[in-house]
């Protein structure tokens, strides 16, 4: 089974312009994030700082996230037949949500790190110790995995027997479930509920409890 990606435009001139624009932005993203990752990994002092430790992982996620859809889109801009297999579509959905959710959790952790540094500077090194940083990072990846596997589960159980045109240049849940041959009300509600991701609050609760226990 294959899906047809309608893309952003059917005009060859527009597609060529989009190819070069996306290509230069993609290269800039790759080089920029790769530079940050290498810089943080090469400097031991930066690697021991929680802020730069998380920043290095954030850049790594951004680097991987840009590779999920952009290379396929660049190839499609130069071809008329823009198709993607069902398994390829599921792979895009999985990695898109896995990396995207992990990044969201990591940004929350980084915000908490700055909160502790500003509001509790004397306790900063005690609170944001290496063990807690590893635990928070592990929680980010676990949260991303739970979120993404839920999205894939919502899609893989749907029957597809009608139109196969995805109104986008990559696969994502909202566009794909519209093609299902069944009432998708429950699936859509489940998708919206999962988008809120309760693990987001669990991370904040856990870190807040750790801080309270130490500052008492």
For residue range 63-73, list pLDDT tens digits in order.
Answer: 999 999 999 98
Return the pLDDT at 64: 94
φ, ψ dihedrals at 5, nearest 5°: -90, 115
Q: What percent of the chain has pLDDT over 70?
A: 84
Q: What share of the chain is helix, strand, coil (3-state, %, to 5)?
A: 75, 5, 20
pLDDT above 50: residue 165: yes
Return the pLDDT at 189: 65
pLDDT above 80: residue 85: yes
Q: In terms of Cα–Cα distance, which of 87, 107, 78, 68 is closest to 203?
A: 107
Q: In terms of Cα–Cα distance, which of 95, 99, 90, 31 is closest to 62?
A: 99
Domain 2-215: state its class.
Answer: mainly alpha
Contact, 90 vs 169, CB < 8 A?
no
26-54 pLDDT, tens digit per residue, is 999 999 999 999 998 888 777 788 999 99
Sorted by where each begins, the domain ranges of the chain are: 2-215
Instruction: Tell me the CA distances in angstroms from 152 to 5, 89, 96, 167, 216, one per residue in order.
Output: 19, 10, 11, 19, 43
Chain mean pLDDT for the chain: 83
pLDDT above 50: residue 169: yes
Q: Which two tokens stand for residue 26?
A: 């993609």
Alpha-carbon distance of 103 to 148, in angstroms, equals 12
pLDDT above 70: residue 103: yes
Return the pLDDT at 118: 92
């Amino acid at each position: 089974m294959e899906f047809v990606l309608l893309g952003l435009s059917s005009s060859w001139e527009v597609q060529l312009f989009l190819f070069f624009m996306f290509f230069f932005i993609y290269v800039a993203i790759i080089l920029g994030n790769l530079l940050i990752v290498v810089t943080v990994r090469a400097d031991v002092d930066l690697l021991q700082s929680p802020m730069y430790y998380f920043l290095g992982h954030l850049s790594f996620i951004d680097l991987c996230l840009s590779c999920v859809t952009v290379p396929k889109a660049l190839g499609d801009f130069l071809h008329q037949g823009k198709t993607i297999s069902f398994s390829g579509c599921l792979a895009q959905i999985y990695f898109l949500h896995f990396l995207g959710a992990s990044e969201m959790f990591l940004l929350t952790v980084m915000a908490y790190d700055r909160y502790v540094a500003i509001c509790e500077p004397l306790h900063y090194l005690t609170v944001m110790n290496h063990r807690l940083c590893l635990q928070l990072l592990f929680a980010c990846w676990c949260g991303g995995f739970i979120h993404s596997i839920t999205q894939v589960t919502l899609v893989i159980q749907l029957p597809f027997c009608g139109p196969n045109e995805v109104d986008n240049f990559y696969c994502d849940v909202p566009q794909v479930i519209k093609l299902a041959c069944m009432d998708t009300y429950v699936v859509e509600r489940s998708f919206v509920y999962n988008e809120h991701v309760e693990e987001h609050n669990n991370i904040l609760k856990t870190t807040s409890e750790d801080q309270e226990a130490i500052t008492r």
